Structures are given as C-alpha cells and as structure tokens.
Amino acid sequence: MAKSTKNERIRISGFGGQGVLTVGQIIALLHLEHDRTVSWIPAYGAEMRGGTTNCSVIIQDDVIGSPIVAQDIDILLAFNLPSLTRFEPLVKKGGKIIYNTSIIKDPPTRKDVEVIGVDATNISISLGSPKVQNMIMMGAYLKDHPYFNEEIIKKVLLIRFGEKAEKLIPINLAAIKAGKE
C-alpha cells in the first residue's frame, strides 16, 4: 500500500459551525490508518457558533513535541477571512494555503507559498448541504494524497460519524470529490 511519508504541520481555521474541528479529526484519522503518529488539538476557549475556531494537526513518524502548530505551518486550510489574515504570515516558505473563495474575497498575498482557492461554500450549497463545505476543503487537501482511496476515506468517515451516519457518506464523498476537482 502506498503511504504518506511527509511530515505535516496543519492549521485549520474558520467560523464555528463550518466543520473546522471535524475536518482536522478526519485528516488525523486518515493518517492514523497509515500508522503515522498524529495529534489534534483545538484552540479551545469561550468559543461559540459564529465565532472563530481553529485546530492544529501534526502528522509525523516520531514522537510529537508540542501539539500546537504555532509557526512553520505546512498547510493552512482557511475557511474565512479572519483565519487567513491571522495564519497566512505563519505559513512556511514553500507551504500551502487552501482557502475558501466563496467568502474570502481578498486572496492570500504571499508569493512564496502555493495558493489553492476552493469555492467551498457555494459548491456545498449546490450539492444540497452547506454542512459539507469542510469536506470540499478537505478534498482540496487530499488532492496530493492519492493513497487515501475512497475505501479508507469511507472507513474513517464511519469511525468519526458512527455507523448510523452511513446514509450521509455519499454526499460527503461527493463533496470530497468536488473539492479534489
């Protein structure tokens, strides 16, 4: 089985309710399926729906030090403008910014990182559920992780959402596919 081998320091940020924390957990679970060492930590505080929220995910093979990705971000998933503004300067040179063009009208200005715009909110509405905008963003993240095939993704979605959520799998898989495109 092809495996991910890269170390990744990921920060995911957006409004509460956009599925930011969930996406982080799913990314961590995917890499755990490949026996990588993973950690996930939310920036917890007095957060609420509509407020901002973010989490750090680290993927590597040896023991993880601080679980907080405070600097040297490899991949930033920015779901809204305050998130992009806050974390863009902390992305490592040569790193990647995936941002939600549906609601971020000012694109990243960094020239030394790869920038990928995803019309996540709008695509999710066209798919019939704004709840899956996080999966569309994750689809963009998974584009260069081809070893996470549909089977592993489905398995992880069931771990995260429980067997009862089986009927929600198709729309989530469709969203991930849309994000890859």
Partner 1 sequence: MAKVLMKGNEALSEAAIAAGCTAFFGYPITPQNEIPEYLSARMEEEGLTFVQAESEVAAINMVYGAAAAGARVMTSSSSPGIALKQEGISYLAGARLPCFICSVTRAGPGLGGILPAQSDYFQAVKGGGNGDYFTPVYAPNSVQEATDLVFRAFNVADEYRTPTLMIVDGMLGQMMEPVEIKAPPRVKVDKETYATSGNTDKRKKNVINSLNLSGLGLEAMNHERFKDYEKIKKKETLSEVDMPKDAEIVFCAYGVPSRIAKNAITLLKKEGISAGLIRPITLWPFPEKDFQKLPKTVKAVLVTELSMGQMIEDVRLALNGAIPAHHYGRVGGVVFEPDELANEAKRILKKGGKK
**Which stretches of the chain bind partner 1, using CB under 8 A?**
25, 28-29, 32, 37-42, 44-46, 63-68, 70-71
Comparison of 38 and 157: residue with beta carbon closer to partner 1: 38
Are 37 and 63 in contact by the 8 Å Cβ rule? The answer is yes
What's the Cα-to-Cα distance from 138 to each of 57, 85, 87, 176, 179, rounded to whole Å? Answer: 13, 20, 18, 6, 7
Comparison of 31 and 96: residue with beta carbon closer to partner 1: 31
Comparison of 41 and 103: residue with beta carbon closer to partner 1: 41
CA gyration radius for the chain? 15
Q: How far is the CB of 39 from partner 1 (least distance, A)?
A: 5
Comparison of 115 and 159: residue with beta carbon closer to partner 1: 159
Q: How far is the CB of 73 from partner 1 (least distance, A)?
A: 13
Q: How far is the CB of 66 from partner 1 (least distance, A)?
A: 4
| Nearest to 13, CA basis, from 99, 90, 123, 72 | 99
Q: Angle, nearest 10°, between helix axes 133-142 and 20-33?
A: 40
Q: How far is the CB of 56 from partner 1 (least distance, A)?
A: 9
CA distance 171 to 62: 35
The Cβ of residue 128 has, within 10 Å, a number of other Cβ atoms equal to 11
Comparison of 66 and 149: residue with beta carbon closer to partner 1: 66
Q: How far is the CB of 17 from partner 1 (least distance, A)?
A: 19
